[in-house]
Structure 1
Amino acid sequence: MDKLLDFTGKTVLITGAAQGFGALLAEELAARGANLVLGDIKTEPLQALAKKLKANGAKVIAQNCNVAVEADGKAMVDAAMDQFGQLDIAVNNAGIGQALELTEEVSDKDFESQWRVNVMGVQYGMRHQLKAMKTKGSGVILNVSSMAGLGAAPRLAAYSAAKHAVIGLSKTAAVENAALNIRVNAICPFFALTPLVTESALSAAGVEQAKATLSRNAPIRRCAEPIEIVNAMILLLSPGNTYMTGLAIAVDGGVSAI
């Protein structure tokens, strides 16, 4: 296998792994030889995914993980160390969306939910992931932000603020750990047809009309397919990609070029 795509023997931790980007990434990395530590609050689909991957020969640990609880994030790292003896790669993918509302209408509760899951979930994860990687002397962390973390996101103020914070955390951790051979990047997808999108925006209107509305600002004129985002994630995580750190990478169908 080409070394850019060969994850044989690498231990990869993925949060939010029961569906969407997390589940697809787990499948793609398992096919490339990775050992997987998967976490999600949705236990049944997570265990179903783990069973499927194991049946295909992958080594997989799957456990309940609420990223807003630090002990759960630590438990995932501990599981990687106990079972596989190392943590090579961590993908902090778990997150929540937000209902559309004007900035002045966002409640304290909604802001707190965004902060606990989308920001502290990443911080709790990195707190323990970085410690494990420092013992090994290398590692890669990829945090899932959003195009809403790179610019304005009208009617999504709390979500946008949280995703901006993810980029700040990622860049800071990257600079702090670059000399230790630990890379940290953030990926910033445009609208992709994951459950986070399809269960909210697409359920509120006709599917084709909703897709057209979501993608109207993209030069490529469509929403992303989840695998298109996952393919970019794999390139960012690649063992052959050793000099890219501290970046917030837009995968956006040309939106940021306008």
Structure 2
Amino acid sequence: MNNQKESKTVLITGAGTGIGAAASIEMATRGLNVVLVGRRVAPLEDVSEQIRSIGGKALVVTGDVAQPDSCENMVRQAVEHFGALHYAVNNAGVSGENQKLADITFEAWDNVMNINLNSVFFSMKYEIQAILQAGGGAIVNVASVFSTKALPQRAAYTASKHGVIGLSKTAAHDYADQNIRINVLAPGVIETPMVDAGGEEAVHIARSIPLGRMGQPSEVAKVIAMLLSDDASYMTGAHVVVDGGFLI
């Protein structure tokens, strides 16, 4: 993504709310076509309307990124509708159940791993093929500050986010010589529906943030935009933390 407006396309998963919605609007303000991906159509349509209101172009694609067929379909629709795919933000995720490891059910474990980690693999598998056809581009995979430390009683979440870093670093190495940059964005405690659902746990974590507050999705979106842009032309395989100092 150059810093000038141009007709290129970005695909964003989990685009209906929170960081995904903010990133979608931020990309539209920078002149990109935006493919909005999520499981529920209503939030995606709301974001699409906001993009159209500022003169942008958006395509809504519903699907479950935990399913390979859905990931193949979202990329195919992006290319068919806008002609090519240049960038992607793999942002969809869930927090999982608040339980100690031995009490986690196999179903709960699989659900978190499928949405948080497997979906990134499925998505990149098809995104990379399309981006190569477009001559190159960039991908940002959204992890978490808990991709480098433990979130107590969230073993699946912690493991999945650690996995996103390893997956992204390997992909970054694999495609560095083919003009695709792949980086990880690790948000801290951001005011999103997922964090709000954390209740007292999220409030407790927020109290330990040196900047004294939760982050806003728009603040994370700007860093995502930087990582996709030419301003980050020498960055690949990086793990960029946006956490208000939480990990200090």
Task: Please give the TM-score of this superposition, normalised by the length of structure 1.
Answer: 0.91
Q: Which amino acid aligns with 2:246?
A: V
Corresponding residue to 2:220 among 229, 233, 253: 229
Q: Which amino acid aligns with 1:85?
A: G
RMSD (Å) for aligned C-alpha atoms: 1.6
Which one is further off, 184-193 or 49-58? 49-58
Instruction: Report SS of the residue matched to 2:130.
Output: helix
C-alpha distance 7-117 of structure 1, shift in aligned 2 (>3 A): farther
Output the CA distance in 1 between the equivalents of 2:206 and 2:46. Answer: 32
Q: Which amino acid aligns with 1:216?
A: R
1:173 is displaced (CA, Å) by 0.2
1:172 matched residue in structure 2: 170
Output the CA distance in 2 between the equivalents of 1:54 and 1:69. Answer: 29
Q: Is the 8 A contact 1:214 1:223 kept in 2?
A: no
Task: Please give the TM-score of this superposition, normalised by the length of structure 2.
Answer: 0.94
1:239 is displaced (CA, Å) by 2.8
1:110 matched residue in structure 2: 108
Output the CA distance in 2 between the equivalents of 1:192 and 1:128. Answer: 29
1:211 is displaced (CA, Å) by 5.8
Deviation digits for residues 10-56 of structure 1, max 9, x if unmatched? Answer: 20000111111111111111111111111100111112221332233
1:248 aligns with 2:234: no
Output the CA distance in 2 between the equivalents of 1:218 and 1:5. Answer: 32
Corresponding residue to 2:207 among 207, 213, 216: 216
Q: Is the 8 A contact 1:4 1:241 kept in 2?
A: no
Q: Which amino acid aligns with 1:46?
A: L
Output the CA distance in 2 between the equivalents of 1:237 and 1:224. Answer: 20
Q: Which residues in structure 2 correspond to 1:145-160 (within 5 Å)?
A: 145-160=143-158
Q: Which amino acid aligns with 2:212?
A: R
1:96 aligns with 2:87: no
1:132 aligns with 2:130: yes
Instruction: Report SS of the residue matched to 1:33.
Output: coil
Q: Is the 8 A contact 1:30 1:58 kept in 2?
A: yes
Deviation digits for residues 177-233 of structure 1, max 9, x if unmatched? Answer: 0011100011111111101111x123xx5xxxx664122332222221221111211
Output the CA distance in 1 between the equivalents of 2:218 and 2:63. Answer: 24
The runs of 4+ residues in structure 1 deviating greater than 6 Å are: none
Output the CA distance in 1 between the equivalents of 2:93 and 2:78. Answer: 21
Q: Is the 8 A contact 1:6 1:239 kept in 2?
A: no
Output the CA distance in 2 between the equivalents of 1:193 and 1:218. Answer: 13
1:58 is displaced (CA, Å) by 1.3
1:55 aligns with 2:61: no
Instruction: Report SS of the residue matched to 2:190.
Output: coil
Q: Percent identity?
A: 35
Instruction: Report SS of the residue matched to 1:240.
Output: helix
Corresponding residue to 2:31 among 25, 29, 33: 33
Q: Which amino acid aligns with 2:98?
A: L
Output the CA distance in 1 between the equivalents of 2:158 and 2:5. Answer: 33
1:136 is displaced (CA, Å) by 2.2
C-alpha distance 224-65 of structure 1, shift in aligned 2 (>3 A): same
1:163 aligns with 2:154: no
Q: Is the 8 A contact 1:40 1:65 kept in 2?
A: yes
2:81 matched residue in structure 1: 83
Corresponding residue to 1:71 among 64, 69, 72: 69
